[in-house]
Structure 1
Amino acid sequence: MKHRNAWAWAFAAVLTVSASSAAMAEKLVISNWDGYMPKDMAEKFKAATGIDLEISVHATNEEIMGKVTASGGEGYDVLFVSSPFAEALNNLGLAAPIDHAKIPNLANLYPEASQLKHDPGNVFSVPYTWGTTGLCYRSDLVKAEPQSWNDLLKPADDLKGKITMLSTDRWLMAPAFLANGMSVNTTDQASLDKVRDQLIETKRQLLAYDDTTFYSKLVSGEASLVEAWDGWCNYGIAEKPEIKYVIPKEGSDLWVDTIVVTKASKNPEAAHKFIDFVLNADNGKWVVENIMYKTPNKAGMEAVDKAMFTQYPNMAIPPAELLKFEQLRDLGSGMKAFSKTVSEIMAAK
């Protein structure tokens, strides 16, 4: 009897440890931008799958990249990052392959979502949102409606001191690249020097560099013309219909925000369940209605009231049109010269 009790105790202990390990395994650590998915996502995902979510917030791609590269990805299961950073994670060996068989809701995506240059076939990333960068302006305050990036870079006298530009590296440089017929992924020094000088001159005409409140400046009338991501311009349009959005004649970048599973994830099965949950039609619809960005989630886009596309015309740009714009890519070793140029612009008086 003594031996039997000892065996039973040992067996129970093994079961307890196994149950504890399973409980620990059934938890995911997600890092995302604040407000970039429903506030009740953790509760809904737990109710649907029994898996706990721990959600951390990063302010920028650079912030989460710093943490992940320092730790080798340890401590994170799923990351929301823009496509150049997803590409960099893959190049560094920190992104796990996406198992399509475990994400049936990939069928909700537009066909174009698998044709993105940074990751054809969605091998290591799944697109979450996508869009353009253009000019957001007060139609009642500008003398002529803007048509070119040069309307921002070489502003008319009535716009001087009434314009803002984005300060994030890639979008700070993109208008000058596009205005000069260059690639948005330019890294050769002669081209960098040319746009640096132009952007330093533009800087002297700016109201501010602004990545977060530029639409408020338009609403108040403090600014008349700003460089903007399309969804952020929509925030301004929602408050003041005189605000309009245009893609300049020279074009836009195609930006894509993606979901990546870390290679260091302790629970890749649950990570794939999470991505599948995010890609359901209800969550796709939430993205459009709340973030006010377009999503590659066709089922989600089709669930939205079409009146929204009338109020915010940039929402109606079809995927095939988006793919005509050049996508931002990982610059690899070219990022050093690129970042140096940005620093020189920001330091200039």
Structure 2
Amino acid sequence: MPQNRHIRHVSTVLAAGLALTLAGCSGGTGATEAAPVAAAATLDPNADLTKQNLTITIWDGYSPKDLPQRVKAKLGFDLKVTLHDTNEDALSKIHSSAGKEIDVAFVSGQYAQALNEAGLLEPLHPELIPNLANLYPEAANLSYDKGNRFSVPYTWGTTGLCYRSDLVKTEPTSWKDLLSPPPALRGKVTMMTTERWLALPALKYLRYSINTSDDAQLKKAKDLLVKAKKNLLGYDDTTFGDRLKSGEAAIVEAWDGWCPTSEKNIKFVVPKEGSDLWADTMVILKSSKHKEAAHAFINYILDPEIHGWMAANILYKVPNKAAMDKVDPALLAQNPPLKMTPADLLQGESIIDLGQDSAKFTRLANEVAGKR
């Protein structure tokens, strides 16, 4: 899987600034039930798509290389694929002059929420996306956008402990195993610096919400993370899988799809205190002049053969039942995280945009991981 992809979430310094910018436009607070949805455009279900074209922004390696050719052959219009490394890169692009050319953006759920609260997204027209019927019912219960009013989930997963079963005496079951490992494993664990995921192990171990903005709770989490720092091999958001393979690391904080469980002795577990439910989404920009083509494109992505490419090639679960039903059983057997059910995932807590309170997580990350 592409090693530059999973900085899909947030980089510590820039993310909160962009979240603040978007939240400031709308007064966003993270209360998704009350989030405004802009008035929908009037679309023509019989529009001649060959007279339209589409520009998307997506993470590198997050779709088939020949997607433009496939779209042209199936839908009849030209597709231009532009790339972003991170969510904040995508948001910067959307806010730039070049952003006027973007029709569909792939961003993580809390960023879709922030874009919607800023009035920048087109409400979805379900009648133009019949393949929404392929999604699991649970895909409509994600906290950042209940009912899929303005976003369609593309991938989803959780965060947990990825570990070498041959290097640990007792298999980990708690975030404590990462935060305070036994003496033999000190210097052989890694954690993430991506701000919401840096805080996650401590917040969950303390039984707090990962969306908390309570100063006292964040202070306790920070203190726990500072104590944990002395036990770390390092902070690592991208190469932790390689460190496990080499034996340099024994336990790492990892996104499920990036835990190389197809390797001998490498396993993944969600700690008993619980974890998150993250999702990456597809959204249509309100400024798009090709909204019919945008809906047709999303509908095409939801085709089981196309959507299933993610599970087969990137090893990420997709919230598409028809697609997951087609995944090779041998691949599922080699990669147990792929077998997690929607019910399993919904036990996790959805990450939502916190508006101005996002700055608290940026400050926490700087105070913890910034002390090198």
Fold equivalence (TM over 0.5): yes
Alignment of 1:16-165 (within 5 A): 26-71=52-97, 73-165=99-191
CA distance in 2: counterparts of 1:347 and 1:119, whole angstroms: 33
Matched, 1:173 2:199: yes
The match for 2:322 among 289, 299, 309 is 299
- What's the counterpart of residue 5 of structure 1? none
- Structure 1 pair 285–23 and aligned structure 2 pair: CA distance change class (3 A): closer
Runs of 4+ deviating beyond 4 Å: 22-25, 70-73
Matched, 1:282 2:308: no
> Which stretches in structure 1 are left out of the alignment for 5+ residues?
1-21
Matched, 1:247 2:289: no
Q: Is the 8 A contact 2:126 2:132 kept in 1?
A: yes
- What's the counterpart of residue 261 of structure 2? 237
Residue 170 of structure 1 and its aligned partner are, at CA, apart by 1.0
- What's the counterpart of residue 203 of structure 1? 229
With normalisation by structure 1, the TM-score equals 0.90
- Structure 1 pair 174–71 and aligned structure 2 pair: CA distance change class (3 A): farther
Other structure's SS at 2:282 match: strand
Other structure's SS at 2:113 match: helix
Amino acid at match of 2:336: P
CA distance in 1: counterparts of 2:271 and 2:352, whole angstroms: 21
Q: Is the 8 A contact 1:284 1:299 kept in 2?
A: no
- Structure 1 pair 70–200 and aligned structure 2 pair: CA distance change class (3 A): farther
Alignment of 1:329-348 (within 5 A): 329-348=352-371
- Structure 1 pair 71–92 and aligned structure 2 pair: CA distance change class (3 A): farther
CA distance in 2: counterparts of 1:311 and 1:249, whole angstroms: 23
- What's the counterpart of residue 17 of structure 1? none
- What's the counterpart of residue 265 of structure 1? 288
CA distance in 1: counterparts of 2:75 and 2:300, whole angstroms: 9
CA distance in 2: counterparts of 1:56 and 1:207, whole angstroms: 36
Q: Is the 8 A contact 1:72 1:94 kept in 2?
A: no
> Which stretches in structure 2 are left out of the alignment for 5+ residues?
1-47
Q: Is the 8 A contact 1:77 1:261 kept in 2?
A: yes
CA distance in 1: counterparts of 2:59 and 2:231, whole angstroms: 31
- What's the counterpart of residue 41 of structure 2? none
Residue 70 of structure 1 and its aligned partner are, at CA, apart by 4.5
Other structure's SS at 2:344 match: helix
What is the root-mean-square deviation of aligned Cα atoms in Å?
A: 1.6
Q: Is the 8 A contact 1:131 1:294 kept in 2?
A: yes
CA distance in 2: counterparts of 1:65 and 1:177, whole angstroms: 27
Amino acid at match of 1:211: D
- What's the counterpart of residue 317 of structure 1? 340
Worse overlay, 65-74 or 164-173: 65-74
- What's the counterpart of residue 188 of structure 1? 214
Q: Is the 8 A contact 1:72 1:264 kept in 2?
A: no
Matched, 1:212 2:238: yes
Q: Is the 8 A contact 1:73 1:262 kept in 2?
A: no
- What's the counterpart of residue 5 of structure 2? none
Q: Is the 8 A contact 2:186 2:232 kept in 1?
A: yes
CA distance in 2: counterparts of 1:75 and 1:24, whole angstroms: 18
Q: Is the 8 A contact 2:49 2:293 kept in 1?
A: no
Whose helix proportion is higher, 1 or 2? 1
CA distance in 2: counterparts of 1:325 and 1:224, whole angstroms: 24
The higher radius of gyration belongs to 1
- What's the counterpart of residue 9 of structure 1? none
Other structure's SS at 1:141 match: coil
Worse overlay, 138-147 or 186-195: 186-195
CA distance in 2: counterparts of 1:56 and 1:85, whole angstroms: 18
Worse overlay, 36-45 or 22-31: 22-31
Q: Is the 8 A contact 2:56 2:105 kept in 1?
A: yes
CA distance in 1: counterparts of 2:50 and 2:298, whole angstroms: 19
Deviations 1:116-159 (A, max 9, x none): 11111110000011111000000011111000001001111111
Residue 62 of structure 1 and its aligned partner are, at CA, apart by 1.6
Q: Is the 8 A contact 1:160 1:206 kept in 2?
A: yes
Amino acid at match of 1:318: T
Residue 223 of structure 1 and its aligned partner are, at CA, apart by 0.7
CA distance in 2: counterparts of 1:290 and 1:158, whole angstroms: 36
